[in-house]
Amino acid sequence: MLPFIGSRLKQAALEVQEYVRLDLATLYALFTRPRYTHDIVEQFDVIGVGSLTVVLLTGRPLRVRPQTLAWLNRYKLRWDLLIMRHWGDYSAAREFKQDTVAELRDAGFDLRLAFEDDRRNVEMFRAEGIPCLYVHSGYYD
């Protein structure tokens, strides 16, 4: 088999795998309420954090942006900037988020707190000097 055909097949298989995983996650999210997310955001607004910029950094690809926006609107979560993976970005979520943290800092953002449902990313945020709260979603454990 020619090398470029093998890499194309691998890329296609990865795309299908990611698509199925995201579809299943979307179906799960349609029938379950988020755990504590709305309460956490509401409490932050009560203590005056509403003036801070809220950046949502997700490993989800741009192709599921409509579903992501629908979920955010459904649960009335406040946000100012939504960052999602570009088409064809197959890097690990940790790598994508770590690179984006560097880009945000280069752009002048003062990153003060992160919430994360993947313990590997919690470790990354903390290693980057950003306090991070683990929120159990049930997706990774």
CB 53 within 8 A of CB 80: yes
- Rounded Cα distance, 38 and 33, in Å: 10
Residue 103 sits in a domain whose CATH number is 3.40.50.1000
Which residues face 116 on adjacent strands? Answer: 134
Specify the pLDDT at position 123: 94
**Beta strands 55-61 and 81-85: pairing type?**
parallel
28: in domain: no
Does residue 8 belong to any structural domain of this protein? no
Residue 27 lies inside a defined structural domain of this protein: no
How many distinct structural domains can be found in the chain?
A: 1
> What is residue 103's predicted lDDT score, i.e. its pLDDT?
96
Residue 71, judged by CB atoms within 10 A of its CB (0-12, 13-18, 19+), counts as middle
Positions of the chain with pLDDT lower than 50, given as ranges? none
**Domain limits at 48?**
34-134
Instruction: Give the per-residue pLDDT at 88.
Output: 85
> Given this model, what pLDDT does residue 69 score?
94
Domain-located, residue 5? no
In a domain, 76, yes or no: yes
In contact, 61 and 22? CB cutoff 8 Å: yes
Residue 139 falls inside a structural domain: no
pTM of the model: 0.67
- pLDDT attached to residue 30: 59
**pLDDT given for residue 7 in this prediction:** 72
The pLDDT value given to residue 104: 96
Indicate whether 112 belongs to any domain: yes
pLDDT for 83: 96
